Amino acid sequence: MAGYTSGNFGIGRIEVGEPGKPATLQLLDGISNGNRGGGGEPEALYLYGVDAAGLILHSGSRLIIGDLNVYLWHEGRWST
Average pLDDT over every residue of 4-32 = 83
Provide the number of structural domains found in the chain.
1
Residue 36: predicted pLDDT: 64
Q: Is 4 helix (H, G, I), strand (E, B) or coil?
A: helix
Sort strands 9-11 and 44-47 into parallel, antiparallel or unpaired: parallel
Domain that holds residue 27: 3-79
Nearest to 71, CA basis, from 1, 16, 15:
1
Say if strands 77-79 and 69-74 run parallel, antiparallel, or are unpaired. Answer: antiparallel
**pLDDT for 47:** 85
Residues 11, 52 contacting (CB under 8 angstroms): no
Beta partners for residue 15, in sequence order: 56
pTM of the model: 0.71
